[in-house]
């Protein structure tokens, strides 16, 4: 009898929501058990879900208070997620197959940072109490850290690691076989932050405010600029993320 109850409990936990979609702008979907579901506000999320945006944008809020925003034409896989309050049995593994992701790590990234991993085709990223972003395409990957730090480990089996600190960005270029061709770090300037983050949902410091009845996005300029703006999203807001132009290394707004 106890064995039956245990199996039933584990089955219930496996189907329990691990988070929810908080904001959807435009077309976005969730692939679940070979079914394609249209994403909508307050939609529950499960392990193994694949979240994909076409020309839409989407934000997710997980049970440990991690906030993840996706830009246009992104494909994001929830490979593993385990969290229970006041428990050290936690884990989160996500994969960004393409597109743009902006992340504010929650409790897992603070309790067990090594167990919070975002994978790409070339690296595994482990944040340490951070606000950071990654942008992935067939030719390059771009990482930015606004707060805290992020450790990158290459997937080439050579145990190579790179650490990015707050205010740093890095451009990884890929060879034709998908291996790392080059990796270059640089500083994010204040003017660069303002032009690239201030007018963009995905690249602002987006935080879900649960103390209010509706989901709000708090857009905060990094503290060294001395400016803060609190502004709820409405349907008239314009949301843009940036794409990388590999020809000249410059960023241009998409859309």
| 136-148 tens-digit pLDDT | 999 999 999 999 9
Phi, psi (degrees; rounded to nearest 5) at 42: 70, 15
Phi-psi region of 233 (alpha: psi -120 to 50; beta: other; left: phi over 0): beta
13 Cα distance to chain centroid = 24
Q: Which domains does the chain have, with CATH numbers?
A: 2-253 (2.60.120.1440)
Distance CA(154)–CA(163), nearest Å, equals: 12
**Token code pair at residue 205:** 């410091």
Strands 116-119 and 123-136: antiparallel
Distance CA(133)–CA(70), nearest Å, equals: 10
- Which pLDDT score is estimated for 171? 95
**Token code pair at residue 34:** 């070979």
| pLDDT at position 215 over 70 | no
Distance CA(56)–CA(27), nearest Å, equals: 4
Distance CA(202)–CA(237), nearest Å, equals: 13
- Which pLDDT score is estimated for 113? 86
Read off the pLDDT of residues 173-213 as tens digits, 9 standing for 90 and up: 999 888 889 999 999 876 555 434 433 443 333 434 333 33
**Token code pair at residue 53:** 């945006």
Whether the Cβ atoms of residue 170 and residue 162 lie closer than 8 Å to each other: yes
- Which pLDDT score is estimated for 86? 80
Read off the pLDDT of residues 63-73 as tens digits, 9 standing for 90 and up: 999 999 999 99
């Amino acid at each position: 009898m106890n064995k039956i109850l245990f199996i039933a409990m584990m089955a219930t936990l496996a189907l329990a929501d691990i988070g929810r979609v908080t904001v959807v702008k435009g077309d976005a979907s969730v692939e679940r058990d070979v079914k394609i579901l249209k994403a909508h506000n307050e939609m529950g999320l499960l392990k193994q879900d694949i979240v994909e945006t076409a020309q839409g944008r989407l934000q997710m809020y997980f049970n440990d208070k991690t906030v993840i925003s996706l830009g246009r034409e992104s494909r994001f896989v929830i490979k593993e997620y385990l969290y229970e309050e006041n428990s050290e049995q936690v884990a989160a593994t996500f994969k960004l197959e393409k597109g743009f992701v902006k992340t504010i790590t929650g409790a897992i990234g603070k309790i067990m940072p090594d167990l919070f991993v975002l994978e790409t085709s070339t690296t595994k990223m482990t944040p340490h109490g951070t606000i950071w972003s990654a942008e992935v395409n067939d030719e390059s990957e771009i990482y930015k850290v606004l707060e805290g730090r992020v450790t990158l480990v290459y997937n080439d089996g050579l145990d190579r690691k790179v650490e990015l600190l707050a205010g740093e960005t890095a451009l990884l270029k890929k060879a034709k076989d998908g291996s790392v061709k080059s990796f270059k770090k640089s500083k994010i300037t204040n003017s660069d932050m303002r032009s690239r983050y201030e007018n963009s949902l995905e690249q602002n410091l987006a935080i879900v405010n649960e103390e209010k009845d509706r989901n709000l996005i708090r857009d905060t300029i990094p503290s060294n600029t001395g400016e803060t703006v609190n502004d709820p999203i409405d349907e008239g807001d314009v949301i843009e993320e940036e794409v990388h132009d590999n020809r000249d290394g410059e960023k241009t707004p998409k859309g």
